[in-house]
Amino acid sequence: MELTRKLRRMTRKTEFYLFIVLVLMCVAIQIISGGQLLEPNTIVDIARSLTIFGMFALISLVVVISGGFDLSFPTLASLTYSVSTSICLSMGWCQETAWMAFLLAAVIGLVLGMLNGFIISRFKLNTMIVTLGTQTLFLGISMGLLQMPEITSTLPLGLRYFGEDSLFEVFSSTGMRSTMPTAFLLFVALAVIVWFVLRFTMFGRALYAIGGNEVSAERAGINVKRTKFWLYAFVGLVAGIIGMLRVCMVRQAIPKGLNGWDLKIIPAVILGGASIYGGEGTVFGTLVAAILMTVISNSLLLIGIDSYWQDFFNGLVILAGVTISAVQAKRRSI
């Protein structure tokens, strides 16, 4: 009885079907590519590409659950890492360790996030419009006001070391070497934290309620304003840290380096079963969707398809995902 109930609950969820799709797709790619997908170095490469993508997806998930959209996180992150890296450069910091750059990024990200949070909660504005505005604002500050330079070969050594730090290395049957970045642990940690906050805390419950129906949530005694303010503040803080992490991993800080990521990340979150209307979404679903998208873009080459087909396939997967969630939502409401 309890088991069938649990099974029935599971089959009502989009992510359950998405997971099946992911497994089937992996099997198909494995066969077509002649066993290349499950080579240890392919898996490690996918884990590497997943790290930053997955972390941004996790913070976007939290915003989508609250019924909002944050389009500003890419430029917020790039403004943050540009400024942090420049400060470190000019002060001569981060020659051996990277923590000072991360501390700076966390503080700057938090401040920028608070700006989002303040505007959204104080004036009760549409989150998409506000963050579209701050997205451009942050880019303007970075490019126009501060004229941030591209930092490549002069990147502080501490950041470089941290980006190259690896947990282990693997070889493929043909002898190709791949390393598992230490940063992957941060991705795992963030996933656990977000899962924990959403499931076990007042704050998480409040986010679901606000996304479900803001008026009802307010009348049920939830402090909507405060919750929203801190949501965007925290998202800013974490986005700053993720941006810094990316600088370390790609060994350069390009002011426009993350432009357009919002349009890559948010659809993945929706694909993972989060509702565009808010109030629904799980860490598991988002992770499955992020893995799915990463596997697709990483394995097109494996099965001999030109990489410029990537966008085509991404678009196809997103359409499929949105259709599934719409059908699911309809079925659930009956």
Distance between CA atoms of residues 113 and 165, nearest Å: 29
Q: Which is nearer to another protein, 36 or 275 (CB)?
A: 275
Is the C-alpha dihedral spanning 298, 24, 50, 180 positive or negative? negative
Distance between CA atoms of residues 167 and 123, nearest Å: 46
What sections of 12-98 are H helices per DSSP?
Answer: 14-32, 40-65, 73-91
- CB of 112 vs another protein, minimal distance in Å: 28
- CB of 185 vs another protein, minimal distance in Å: 24
Q: Which residues bind another protein (CB under 8 A)?
A: 5, 8-9, 199-202, 205, 208-209, 212-213, 215-223, 275, 277, 279-280, 329, 332-334
- DSSP character string of 84-127: HHHHHHHHT--SS--HHHHHHHHHHHHHHHHHHHHHHHHHT--H
- CB of 278 vs another protein, minimal distance in Å: 9
- CB of 223 vs another protein, minimal distance in Å: 6
- CB of 21 vs another protein, minimal distance in Å: 23
Q: Which is nearer to another protein, 126 or 154 (CB)?
A: 126
- CB of 123 vs another protein, minimal distance in Å: 18
Q: Which is nearer to another protein, 5 or 174 (CB)?
A: 5
Q: Which is nearer to another protein, 10 or 145 (CB)?
A: 10
- CB of 9 vs another protein, minimal distance in Å: 5
DSSP state of 72: -
SS3 state at 253: strand
Distance between CA atoms of residues 250 and 52, nearest Å: 11
Q: Which is nearer to another protein, 143 or 276 (CB)?
A: 276
SS3 state at 151: strand
Q: Which is nearer to another protein, 12 or 177 (CB)?
A: 12
- CB of 286 vs another protein, minimal distance in Å: 18
Contacts 24+ apart (CB under 8 A), 29-32: 29/295, 29/299, 29/302, 29/303, 32/303
Q: Which is nearer to another protein, 54 or 279 (CB)?
A: 279
The answer to whether the beta carbons of residues 42 and 302 sit under 8 Å apart is yes
DSSP state of 252: -
The answer to whether the beta carbons of residues 46 and 53 sit under 8 Å apart is no
The answer to whether the beta carbons of residues 321 and 270 sit under 8 Å apart is yes
Q: Which is nearer to another protein, 40 or 204 (CB)?
A: 204
